Amino acid sequence: MLDGGLYVTLVIAALVMAFPLIWMLLASFKTTPEISAVPIQWLPQEWNLDNFIAVANSIPIGRMIFNSVFITVVSTFLKVMLGLACAYALVFVDIPFKNVAFMIVLFTLLIPGQITIIPNYVLVAGLDWTNTYLGIILPGLASAFGTFLFRQQFMQVPRSLLEAAELDGAGHLRRLFRVVVPISVPTIAAVTLVTVVGEWNEYLWPSLVAKSPDLMTLPVGLTHLQDLEGIQNWGVLLAATTLLTLPMLAIFLILQRRLVAGLTAGAVTG
């Protein structure tokens, strides 16, 4: 009896959460009359790619997909590498005042990105880095969140393992990549996935730096498309929205466990 009520609630909840995404997908295949039909038309008459072709005619969508993939991959790779190297040094290389370096990382977590955008924009514009990949990628490269999680993980690694490797004559890089990294795979995977999602969805900074459509990422291209097509051309806008959301949905569905572990890491550590 009670379970029956619960089931109804859960089904409604699932519908409210999932149907908007299905509705988006359906709309990207509908013609304009189908979209504005009253009463509502649930399914498109024909499944064709007209809206996607219209997107490609309006903005350089192929180039934007490339930009999004390229920037996400390069940023994520470098961010994870910088974080791994920094965390390794913080845990395993002994120097005086090491804690100062850690405090620099830790305090960054308290500085909101928003307060940095005006000065960073002035710097990047002054260096003539607007409309360059460098200008989009570099300011966000340092990883405080990743470094913090890596450091916590590395502190669990038994020192004896590293000492044994050192006796075998392994240098620091070998110790990092042959000893520490292999036993930290779950943490690295979680941080990598969180970074991928964050970079893919990032909007404000790339929208300021990429002024030419050829440098725009998908989210920036989407608002650019809205400016060009007007607000009412829903089929075209939602086709582009579908292109932006499907990759993250796919990654989420396939790698759910690790991604969720990363996204909720703050609750476990904090």
Partner 1 sequence: MSSHALLSAAQSAAPPGRRAARRKKLWRNIGVFALLAGPNLAILLIFTYRPMFLSFYYSMLNWNIGSDFAQFIGFGNYVEWFNDPESARILGTTLLYTIATVAGGMALGLALALALNRKLFGRGIVRTITFAPYVLSGIAVGFLWMYIFNPNIGLLRTVLGWFGISSPPWFTQEPWPLIMIIIVTLWKHVGYVALIYLAGLQSVPQDLRDAAALDGAGTLRVFRGIVLPLLGPITFFLLITLTLSALQSFDLIRSMTNGGPLGSTKTLMYQVYVEGFQIGRGGYGSAVATILFVILLAVTAIQMKFVERRVHYQ
Q: Is 103 in the site for partner 1 (CB under 8 A)?
A: no
Omega before 39 cis (within 30°)?
Answer: yes
Site for partner 1 contains 40 (CB under 8 A): yes
The amino acid that residue 225 corresponds to is L
Alpha carbons 186 and 184: distance in angstroms, whole number: 6
Binding mask 245-264 for partner 1 (x = CB under 8 A): x--xx-xxx--x--xx--xx
Write out the binding residues for partner 1, residues 208-247 only, by CB under 8 A: 208, 218-219, 222-223, 226, 231, 234, 237-238, 241, 244-245
Q: What 3-state DSSP class applies to 179? A: helix
192 binds partner 1 (CB under 8 A): no
- The residue to which tokens 């504005």 are assigned: 36
Q: Does 64 bind partner 1 (CB under 8 A)?
A: no
Stated length of the chain: 270
Q: Can you tell me the distance from the alpha carbon of 249 to that of 253, in angstroms, rounded to the nearest whole number? A: 6
Interface pick for partner 1 out of 85, 157, 183, 189 (rule CB under 8 A): 85
Say how many residues touch partner 1, by CB under 8 A.
93
Which of 58, 140, 215, 229 forms a contact with partner 1 (CB under 8 A)?
140
- Residue 60 Cβ vs partner 1, minimum distance, rounded to whole Å: 18
- Contact flag: residue 20 with partner 1 (CB under 8 A): yes
**Residue that the structure tokens 């994520």 belong to:** 76
Interaction between residue 113 and partner 1 (CB under 8 A): yes
Amino acid type, 39 = P
Among 35, 149, 188, 209, binds partner 1 (CB under 8 A): 35
Q: Is 265 in the site for partner 1 (CB under 8 A)?
A: no
Position among 43, 46, 62, 114 found at the interface with partner 1 (CB under 8 A):
114
- Closest to partner 1 by CB, 63 or 207: 207
Place of tokens 């779950």: 186
Sign of CA dihedral 249, 20, 198, 136: positive
**Looking at 53, 73, 111, 228, which residue binds partner 1 (CB under 8 A)?**
111
In angstroms, the CA 83 to CA 181 distance is 12
Side-chain half-sphere CA neighbours of 78 within 13 A: 14
The residue whose two tokens read 């904090």 is 270
